Each structure stands twice: as C-alpha cells, then as structure tokens.
Amino acid sequence: MKDSPPGVTTYSDADIDAILTDLTAHVPEQHQLRAWASECGIPCKRVVATPDLAYVRLAGKDEAGGYVVLMLLDGMWERVF
C-alpha cells in the first residue's frame, strides 16, 4: 500500500487480493465482519454486516483512483466494480 495524495492510501491489485484472502480466511459469515474490521489494521470507510448483506469499503482508493468495495456473496469474498 502506498500513500498518494497525502493521507489517502492507494491499494494495488496485489494489496486487494491479499485483503480478499484475509477476509476469506477470517470472515466466512456476515456476523464476523465488524470484529475483523476493528482488528485488521486496514482503514475502512464503511462496514455493513446484516443478515442479508455484508461488505466493506476501504478508506483508500485503488491505483486508478476508484473506491475499493469488497462484498461477501454466496460465501465468497470478491471485489465489486
């Protein structure tokens, strides 16, 4: 992860893949997401964990300047574009 512009973390594709791997290993169900977000050390802008929906929006951006939104869908974490 790098910072650019000042104060904004930029995530590479490899960074995002590593976060998805961590989520898959530690958050197989929605109710575990808030605990993960508070303990993972990754700045999160939004964390949603309901019985029907689980996603996290990272506080930084990707290398193209877009938001990084990761969602639990059918038991698998993936990036939402």
What is the CB-side half-sphere exposure of residue 56 using CA atoms within 13 A?
25
Beta carbons within 8 Å of 55's beta carbon, 6+ residues apart: 46, 47, 48, 69, 70, 71, 72, 80
pLDDT value at residue 5: 56
Pairing, β 54-62 against β 9-11: parallel
d(CA 35, CA 31): 8
Q: What is the pLDDT of residues 1-50, one digit of tens each?
A: 554 556 678 999 999 999 999 999 999 999 999 999 999 999 999 999 99
Residue with tokens 């930029």: 10
**pLDDT band at residue 81 using 50, 70 and 90 as cut-offs:** confident
